[in-house]
Amino acid sequence: MTPELMIKACSFYTGHLVKTHFCTWRDIARTNENVALAEKMNRAVTCYNFRLQKSVFHHWHSYMEDQKEKLKNTLLRIQRIIYCHKLSIILTKWRNRARLKSKKKEDELILKHELQLKKWKNRLILKRATAEESNFPEQSSSEGSLVDETLKCDISLLPERAILQIFFYLSLKDVIICGQVNHAWMLMTQLNSLWNAIDFSTVKNVIPDKYILSTLQRWRLNVLRLNFHGCLLRPKTFRSVSHCRNLQELNVSDCPTFTDESMRHISEGCPGVLYLNLSNTTITNRTMRLLPRHFHNLQNLSLAYCRGFTDKGLQYLNLGNGCHKLIYLDLSGCTQITDSAMEMLSAKCHYLHILDISGCVLLTDQILEDLQIGCKQLRILKMQYCTNISKKAAQRMSSKVQQQEYNSNDPPHWFGYDREGDPLTELDNVTPSKGASELTVEKSTYSSEEQVA
């Protein structure tokens, strides 16, 4: 064998050996790689399943926590309802017992005072009988003893309800005088219910502004009704009304010093006013703008003889929430009002029951048509001295309302203006025309039968 053949044989053998072992190694490597991939795939599937289970469990856990929280809140609400129900039962029983006890006590006091009053009357009759039989000196001594006997009847021992009923018959001046008798009477005049309604019009020339300020400041939480009719007060006094937060009725008619600024303070402090009387005051469109802004529950409004506002001011009542709950509206003597303002007003005030437009000489038959369309609940309509409203239109309107007052004559001279709404001169006031002197306020209630006839 030659060396060349030996080299070729060795090369072939080596190549064959390498090829054989490389294929074996490659097969083993591929087998190991497949096993590793399978293990990795198994681990990935296991991890994915675990994460999926974890996510599902998390959602389930959150859902269960929410359900537990809802159940807990429900139980708390049920417990609170049961507790409130128990409290209401306890309070009802306590209130019934307290009322029974109070009524029993009042009955005992009333019976005691009736017996005391009966005994006092018997003694008084007996004293009078003995006084008539005795001489004059003896009569004077018996009168002194009678005075002593009357002192035994103490009004302060009466029940609070009876005391209030007695003091309700007194004027504000008399209540003030009674409070100066003694300490017991002063305590009786300081009952809270006695100051729910204060009428300053009866003492407008007696009590100064300083006392009115102190009274309103002291009873500001108890005052529900105030009457300043005809009072000549300072603007500061009217501003003090704004402290009466629970005020429901206010009458400032015929108050010459009442202005728009006073109304601004009152409207901001007393939003719960239901009855408002501004008759014959100097208010303007500023006040008319304030009414719908603050008095959303206003039911009764009187603007009679207020000639400082215009049609635009009357239209302000429809702004925003407006005075849409008005039941009573008095515009008598407002000669500046025209059909355009009343048309917008009737379109919003659907609950209006009573309307007074007497003396509004510029209104025509058109207003009656607007009222029939917008104010379907109108019951009482007053149209005295409405010269531009025809009798035929009034007859048609009478079938829509329960009561109607109509008169097409010229306004009387004491109204201060003629049929066109112009002020009367001094000559007209001194020598009124024959027709004006014979005018009378006539109530004409037209029935549907008369209309058909």
pLDDT in tens, 110-145: 777 777 777 777 777 887 777 777 654 444 444 444
Looking at residue 158, the DSSP 8-state letter turns out to be S
Return the pLDDT at 426.
52
Residue 390 lies in a domain: yes
- The count of structural domains within the chain is 2
Residue 24 lies in a domain: yes
Residue 338 lies in a domain: yes
C-beta separation of 348 from 373 below 8 A: no
Return the pLDDT at 453.
33
Confidence of residue 1 (pLDDT cuts 50, 70, 90): low
Residue 424 lies in a domain: no
Which is more confidently placed, 79 or 116? Answer: 79
Residue 167 lies in a domain: no
Return the SS3 of 380.
strand
With a cut of 80, say whether residue 59 has pLDDT above it: yes
Which is more confidently placed, 301 or 36? Answer: 301
Return the pLDDT at 191.
84
Residue 377 lies in a domain: yes
Residue 257 lies in a domain: no
Model pTM?
0.62
CATH code at position 403? 3.80.10.10
Burial class (CB in 10 A: 0-12, 13-18, 19+), 332: buried
Residue 398 lies in a domain: yes
In percent, the amount of the chain with pLDDT more than 70 equals 87
Which parts of 299-350 fold into alpha helices (H)? Answer: 311-315, 339-348
Burial class (CB in 10 A: 0-12, 13-18, 19+), 89: exposed
- Domain of residue 298 covers 284-419
